[in-house]
Amino acid sequence: MKQSILIIIVLLLFSGKTFSQIFVHDPVITQQNDNYYLFCTGLGITIWSSPDMKNWTKEGRVFQETPQWVSETLDDFAGHMWAPDIIYNNGRYYLYYSVSAFGKNTSCIGVATNSTLNPQDADYEWIDHGIVVQSVPGRDDWNAIDPAIAFDDDGQPWMSFGSFWDGLKLVKLNDDLKSIAEPQEWHTIAKRERSFDIDETDAGDGALEAPFIFKKNGYYYLFVSFDYCCRGAESTYKIMVGRAKNINGPYFDKQGKSMLAGGGSLVLKGNENWHAIGHNAAYTFNGKDYLVCHGYDAHDNARQKLIIREIKWNENDWPVVDITK
């Protein structure tokens, strides 16, 4: 309770103020008119806005109170909503979010909608629609966190998600973007073999999470995060990628290794300036492609900060991102 009160006080103190460097976890971005809006993990999902993706103003949070269904569904919910995704479709914004008990696959992915992202707009209102996907211990060998929405060439919506356990999943959604399509269609899209059966807080060599699918150059690129986040300077997060001709895979890395067998080509990892770069999203804004992620600043007490870099593409159509600047 004391931690939640402290977080609320911090949010109130910083709301409405503009910063050139912001502390975020699991960032995603969308654009409305001349503004960019960033959503990230936090109490109620934290919101930032920017005219240029450089100077950011805190806009509060999506949920002022935890939706009732969360406490009714999860007995040990800790209060934070994790790893959002934001998309725009048919005149509305869809905000997907994770609620979970840490280290367990007692998890749910929910969705809320809004017709605008501008808090000053009279129509600004987040409407929660509850659970899209739920994982249950003993029933599921996957974890319902880290959602990301992608559309295939036929306009069919899919949700990729997952963390550790038996790999990252892809499930077909209904056109309403609020529910799983029937008959259900599920795929495993990335997996690392685990040496032994352990919980998610220590998955050994099986740690992977945060899938994000980005269509480019006739391929679906699957970005994922390998290894460990959330351990400060000791974190080992890094961003890997594979690609496929079909959204449901199979995805292969540069060497032709399947991501179902632990494959993945390195995009970014820590260096002398950053520890543990990961949990990324990819976008095209104004004709340029961008990678959005977080990393621990090696020169600022390993505090977790927003990283945005342009994506270039090599001669073989693989993404190249420069983090040296």
Q: To the nearest 10°, the Cα dihedral for 161, 165, 166, 168?
A: 20
Is 91 annotated in some ligand binding site?
A: no
Known binder of ligand: residue 313? no
Task: Reply yes or no on whether 59 is catalytic.
Answer: no
Residue 289 annotated in ligand binding: no
Is 163 annotated in a binding site? The answer is yes
Say if residue 164 carries a ligand binding annotation.
yes
Which of the residues 26, 200, 227, 253 is marked catalytic?
A: 26
253 is in an annotated binding site: no
322 is in an annotated binding site: no
Q: Which residues contact 230 (CB under 8 A, 6 or more apart)?
A: none
Q: Which has the closest alpha carbon to 149: 119, 127, 180?
A: 180
Would the CA dihedral through 152, 255, 284, 303 be positive or negative?
A: positive
| Residue 209 is among the residues annotated as catalytic for this protein | yes
214 is in an annotated binding site: no
Catalytic residue among 59, 85, 200, 209: 209
Determine whether the annotation assigns residue 146 to a binding site: yes
Binding residues for substrate, by number, are: 26, 103, 143-146, 163-165
Which are the catalytic amino acids?
Answer: 26, 209
Binding residues, by number, are: 26, 103, 143-146, 163-165
